[in-house]
Amino acid sequence: MRQVGHFIGGKHVEGKSGRTTDFYQPMTGEVIGQVALASKAELREAVENAKAAQPAWAATNPQRRARVLMKFLELISKEMDSLAELLAREHGKTLPDAMGDIQRGVEVVEFACGIPHLMKGEFTEGAGPGIDIYSMRQALGVVAGITPFNFPAMIPMWKFAPAIACGNAFILKPSERDPGVPMRLAELMIEAGLPAGILNVVNGDKEAVDAILDDPDIKAVGFVGSSAIAQYVYSRATASGKRAQCFGGAKNHMIIMPDADMDQTVDALIGAGYGSAGERCMAISVAVPVGKATADALVERLIPRVEALKVGPSTDPTADFGPMVTKAHRDKVLSYVDLGVQEGAKLLVDGRNFTMQGYENGFYMGGCLFDEVRPDMRIYKEEIFGPVLSVVRAENYEEALRLPTEHEYGNGVAIFTRDGDTARDFTSRVDVGMVGVNVPIPVPIAYYTFGGWKASGFGDLNQHGPDSIRFYTKTKTVTSRWPSGIRSGAEFSIPTMK
C-alpha cells in the first residue's frame, strides 16, 4: 500500500491533517494507496516555501530557466515507459494512451523552453521628444493550478511549465484519484535543477482548493475539471482579486455531412468517442448525421464497430480502451445509459453487462451506442464522460449547426465533409472554442492555445501558447526621458503624442 503525502520545498513531506483518501488501480479494482488531504495550514506551508524561493528564480535569466526545462525533457524521455505504466495503473487508460498523455504535456514544456523569446517586451524609440517607451513582462509571484483526474501528466505540465518558465513559483493541487504521476513530475523537475520551493505539490480535496482560493499570496489560479466546480473556483478566486482561468466539462458534437467519406468518418468517430473510455474533455459524445440516408449509413457501420471494441486491462497493448477511473464514476455512467433508455433513446449497442474475465472487480464497461437521441433528453444535455455515443439526427445543415451552437457547453466540435464552403461557413458560425474540419479531436498544438467557450471555460485567457505567457505575467510599461530630464519646467496639461 503506497502512502502519498505532499511535495513541498523540494522534498516529500507526510500529510499532517489526519485526513486521507484511497486511490485505486482501476484495472483490478484494488485500493493501491492512500493520498493525504491537505489542511489549510499545510497549503500555507507550501505557499511560504514558494514565496521565499520565487524572487531568486524570477531573477535567474530566462535562458537558465529554460535550461532546467530542457533537462527535464531529457529526464522524462528516459523515464517515459515507467511513467506511462504508473499513469495507466492509477488512471486506467491503456499504455499507448498514457504515453500520449505524457507526450502532449511534454510538447508544452518544449514550447516553454522558448521563454527567452516569449517574454520579450516592446520598445518604441522616440515616442515623444526624447522619450522612449518600453514594456516588460514580469512574473506574478506564487501561482496555483488545480487539475482533473483524466490527464494526470498533460494538464499539470500545461500549467506548471509556462508558469515556472515565466519566473513564478507554482503550487499544484492535482486530482486525488491518480496522484502518482504529478508527484514524480515534481521530483524530476528538482532533478533537472529547479530550485526547491518553485514547484510544490499539495494533495487534497475541497479544503485544499478553498485554501488556495483564499490565500492572499497566490496571485493566479488555473483550474481544469467539471463545469460546476470551474465556475465556483472562478467566482471565488476572482472575488479575492486573483487572475483565474477555469476550464470545465464538454459535450462535443461531430457533424457528418452527406458528402463525408463514411469510412474515414466512422474510423474517426470510433477513436474519438471511445478512446480513453470517453474520459476526455475533447471526446466526441454526440454524432450528428445530416439527412436520413447519412444517418442510416452511419448507424449501420457504427453498430459492428462498437460491438467489436476491445476493452482490456490498461497493460494490454491491444485494448482499445481500459477501465474507468473509479467504480463510482463507472456506476454513474451506467446510470446515464439506464436513463437514456427511460428517456426513449434507442440503445443499439448495450455495454452495461460487460465483465472482464480475470479482472472481475475492475471498473469496466463496454461501449454503448444510442440512436434517436433528442436535444430535450438529459443524456444529450449533460456530460456523461464515458464510452457512450449518442446519435442525434438532423434534417439539414442549419439544424446540425444549431445543435452545438445552442448547447450549454462549447469545448470542441468537428465537421466531416468534402465541401470547403460548408466547412468554412461552419467554422465561422459555430459557437464553440475549438473546431475540427475532418479532424475529430481538434486539440490545438502547444504553440496555439486551448480553451472552450460557454460553460466549458471561465476567464479570458486560454491554456498554453501565447495566452499562457500573458496569463502568468503582468506587463509593466516604462516611459523614459534621457539624458537631460525636464528642461522647460513643469507642464500642467496632459502630454499627448501630437
Catalytic site includes residue 246: no
Place of cell 458534437: 253
Q: Which is nearer to ligand NAD, 209 or 297 (CB)?
A: 209
Q: Which is nearer to ligand NAD, 31 or 228 (CB)?
A: 228
Report, in Å, the least distance between residue 456 CB and ligand NAD.
Answer: 5
Q: Which residues of 451-466 are buried (b: 16+ CB within 10 A; e: fewer)?
A: bbebbbbbbebbbbbe
Task: Tell me: does residue 281 bind ligand NAD (CB under 6 A).
Answer: yes
Q: Report which of 291, 227, 225, 286 is spatially closest to residue 252, judged by C-alpha positions.
A: 286
Report, in Å, the least distance between residue 318 CB and ligand NAD.
Answer: 26
Q: Report which of 213, 66, 74, 224 is spatially closest to residue 152, judged by C-alpha positions.
A: 224
Question: How far apart are the C-alpha atoms of 179 and 321, rounded to whole Å?
Answer: 21
In this structure, what DSSP letter does residue 23 have?
E
Task: Tell me: does residue 455 bind ligand NAD (CB under 6 A).
Answer: no
Q: Which is nearer to ligand NAD, 278 or 362 (CB)?
A: 278
Report, in Å, the least distance between residue 78 CB and ligand NAD.
Answer: 27
Pick out residues in 346-405 that bind ligand NAD (CB under 6 A). 383, 385
Q: What is the DSSP string of 357-394?
A: TT-TTS-----EEEES--TTSHHHHS---SSEEEE--B
Pick out residues in 203-222 that bind ligand NAD (CB under 6 A). 205-206, 209
Q: Which residue is nearest to ligand NAD (CB)?
A: 225
Q: Which is nearer to ligand NAD, 97 or 176 (CB)?
A: 176
Q: Which is nearer to ligand NAD, 329 or 470 (CB)?
A: 329
303 grid coordinates: 453498430
Paired strand residues for 133: 124, 479
Q: What is the DSSP string of 415-433?
A: EE-S-HHHHHHHHHH---S
Pick out residues in 424-453 that bind ligand NAD (CB under 6 A). 452
Paired strand residues for 200: 171
Determine which residue in the list 167, 249, 258, 313 makes contact with ligand NAD, applying CB under 6 A.
249
Q: Of the listed pieces 45-53, 66-74, 86-94, 202-210, which binds ligand NAD according to CB under 6 A?
A: 202-210
Question: How far apart are the C-alpha atoms of 475 and 112, rounded to whole Å?
Answer: 18
Task: Tell me: does residue 285 bind ligand NAD (CB under 6 A).
Answer: no
Report, in Å, the least distance between residue 458 CB and ligand NAD.
Answer: 10
Give ∠ CA 419-410-264 in degrees, rounded to 5. Answer: 35
Pick out residues in 143-182 that bind ligand NAD (CB under 6 A). 146-151, 173, 175-176
Question: How far apart are the C-alpha atoms of 253 and 413, rounded to whole Å?
Answer: 5
Q: Which is nearer to ligand NAD, 94 or 150 (CB)?
A: 150
In this structure, what DSSP letter does residue 195 have?
P
271 grid coordinates: 477513436
Question: How far apart are the C-alpha atoms of 234 and 178, rounded to whole Å?
Answer: 24
Q: Of the listed pieces 49-57, 131-139, 241-249, 351-359, which binds ligand NAD according to CB under 6 A?
A: 241-249
Catalytic residue chosen out of the listed positions 166, 246, 281, 368: 281
Q: Where are the alpha helices (DSSP H) in 172-217?
A: 180-191, 206-214
Determine which residue in the list 27, 69, 109, 250 makes contact with ligand NAD, applying CB under 6 A.
250
Q: Which is nearer to ligand NAD, 57 or 472 (CB)?
A: 472
Task: Tell me: does residue 225 bind ligand NAD (CB under 6 A).
Answer: yes
Task: Tell me: does residue 340 bind ligand NAD (CB under 6 A).
Answer: no
Helix (H, G, I), strand (E, B) or coil at 215: coil
Would you tell me which residues interact with ligand NAD (CB under 6 A)? Answer: 146-151, 173, 175-176, 205-206, 209, 224-226, 229, 247-250, 281, 383, 385, 411, 452, 456
Give the catalytic positions in this structure. 281
